[in-house]
Amino acid sequence: MREFGHKVPLRGDNGELTGLQERPAVRVTRNGLSGGYGPDSGRKLVVSLMDGDLIVFRPKGTRQRKAVSAFDLYSYVHRVEVAALARAKREAAKERRAARGRA
């Protein structure tokens, strides 16, 4: 499995190791960005796993880069899920209270 900051060996003419070259895992999304992204609308996203546990996003064909720590992104996704569960729980309680009031 490729890791963040994956490196491949560079070898000289004699086959000896001369150094390491960074080869991050890079993938392109299947769908493009929605219409809310201005001039980048319709562009696919290029996602790279860079050294230092960074996830880098950029619209394909541009130099714009948005980098986030993998740990920060995980934390954000976790908070969003917890907030959605809490919101659903509050709405269910609100519906139960409304049903009691109508009965």
Mind listing the pLDDT tens digit for each residue in 6-53? 889 999 999 899 999 988 999 999 999 999 999 999 999 999 999 999
User: Three-class SS of residue 5?
Assistant: coil
What are the tokens at 81?
Answer: 């899920």
pTM: 0.77
Query: 87: which DSSP letter?
Result: H
Q: pLDDT-derived band of residue 101, with 50, 70 and 90 as boundaries? A: confident
DSSP secondary structure, 9-66, as one string: EEE-TTS-EEEEEE--EEEEEEEE--GGGGGGTTPEEEEEEETTTEEEEEETTS---E
Share of the chain above pLDDT 70, in %: 98
